[in-house]
Amino acid sequence: MIEFHHAYKAYPNGNKALKDVSFQIERGEFVFLTGPSGAGKTTLFRLISAYDRPTSGNVRVAGREISLLKARELPYFRRHVGVVYQDFRLLKNRTVFENVALPLVVKGESKNSIEKRVLDLLDQVALYQKKDAFPLEMSGGEQQRVAIARALIHQPEVLIADEPTGNLDPDLSLEILHLLEKANARGTTVFVATHDHAMVQKKPARRIDICQGELRSDA
Amino acid sequence: MNPYVLSHLKKTFSDHSATLFATLFSMSVVLSCLSLILLARQNMAAMADRWGQDSEITAYLDEDISPSTRVELQKSIGGISQVEKAEYVSKEESARRFLKRMGHLAPDFLQGGEAQENPLPATMDVKIKADLSLSDRVGTLEKVAEKISALSGVSEVSYGQGWLESWSQFLRKFNVFTGAAVAFVLILGLLIIGNATRVSMERRLDEIQVLELVGATASWIRRPFLMEGAVLGLASAVISLVISNFLNEAVIKYFSGSGILWASDAALALSPASILLVLILGLAFGFLGSFLCVRRISTGWLAGEMDVHD
């Protein structure tokens, strides 16, 4: 489902964010990506979600080679990938319902289908009562749950979460982990970047560790 | 309409009303100038047509023209295809008309009884068919006058060629000016709408990034901005029509009692075609102004330009 083959990424400022990274993640796996700040976790996720291209090497996600994607193909590719950010990236002037519905709206789904699916999912993440609230009226944990719901609403093949518990207390972190496990149980490949050791210890799963842009361990 | 586009428009109206009204005001002023230019052009053309329709050719007849030649001449002139009517005016009738119109300026004219000779010649007043535009009319008058002057019994032909040609030339120049003004006004409109779209876009950069992240296509992201530009352009066009109509009526009211013929008599309202033109131009240039701005956004990699935190 996700395949890195001797992938390199260097930024114009000379920063070599990834160096010769190779690994493979199968469909339906739950994998943690760990490493200190600046290790290259976000860069790796940007490549998976086609927000950037590798400088050299190959990155294949859901059967597509990222560096060969044309601009007009990007939106359709991104519909196969759900992304959760540490800073949530929610639209502040849109309600919870509108934020979660966004991936379906851009796909042109019918109003009835959108309403049904969004309300169902909001119910699953315990945010049904907050559907008309705006993100800034909610706690950090609630906002992260909205971000996860938005990433899952279009049932992506791959869900990547970049430090999803970075700003949350341990109880809320556990709650978020449960949500990710639920998505994984439904068949979604889940790849979570974190340096929350408690989270990694609570969930027995494969762990890919990178440091200074290089793969340190994969177990 | 796509609910997202609708909600985008609603948010623009509610959250960015100051920018919106500033744009609406500037664009309305610009389009009002366009309406007023079109109005002025239309009125001048209407005025010229009215004056042109009254224009006639006067053929001055030879002093010694015989009645039979005169009748023949009248028939020949009446037979010219562009001529509507040819009327004979005798020397006496010419004098009577002169006295009626200008007698107060020449109180001694023909007051010496039979001994004083009538210096005015007999004429043939020729009326041209009315369904000709001013530019066609000038050419037609010229041709008909040429034909008449070649006929026997005619000593001289006059048709007010001086002012007609000058007016026609002025109208041609004014048409060029109108074209240039319309182009200038519309470029200004493009800049205004383009600027408003740029501001709106910059305010929504985060939103555009998120839309890219969730798989929105470039055209989907651009659509609300294009709609915003088109709505702004159309609304400005409507406001400009109201403003120009108000100004126009004020001008008519001011001049109607002053005896200035053209202001009180000419058709002074914008024609339906001009109204439609202003509306279409407002809509099209609103759309185009936005398009020129948004075509540069959302290449699909805007999200990739976000800061790298890791």
Tens of pLDDT, residues B235-272: 988 988 888 888 877 777 776 665 554 544 445 677 78
- The pLDDT mean for chain B works out to 78
The verdict on A103 touching B (C-beta cutoff 8 Å) is yes
> Could you report the per-residue pLDDT of B187-241, keeping only the tens digit for each?
888 888 888 888 888 888 888 888 888 888 888 888 888 888 888 889 988 988 8
| Domain range annotation of chain A | 2-218
The verdict on A38 touching B (C-beta cutoff 8 Å) is yes
Residue in the structure block whose two tokens are 């998505």: A183
CATH fold group of domain B56-159:
Alpha-Beta Plaits (3.30.70)
Q: Which residues of A touch B295 (CB under 8 A)?
A: none
Q: Which CATH superfamily is domain A2-218 in?
A: P-loop containing nucleotide triphosphate hydrolases (3.40.50.300)
> Could you report the per-residue pLDDT of B37-96, keeping only the tens digit for each?
877 777 777 776 666 666 678 889 888 888 888 888 888 988 888 888 888 888 888 888
> Could you report the per-residue pLDDT of B126-172, keeping only the tens digit for each?
888 766 666 677 778 888 888 888 888 888 888 776 776 777 778 78
> Could you report the per-residue pLDDT of A10-34, keeping only the tens digit for each?
888 888 889 999 999 999 999 999 9
Q: Which residues of B touch A79 (CB under 8 A)?
A: 214-215
The verdict on A17 touching B (C-beta cutoff 8 Å) is yes
pLDDT of residue B310: 42
- The pLDDT mean for chain A works out to 88
Of A42, A98, A111, the CB nearest to B308: A42
> Could you report the per-residue pLDDT of A156-170, keeping only the tens digit for each?
999 999 888 876 777
Mean pLDDT of A110-133: 90
Contact B279, B238 (CB under 8 A): yes
The verdict on A127 touching B (C-beta cutoff 8 Å) is no
| Domain range annotation of chain B | 3-50+166-305, 56-159
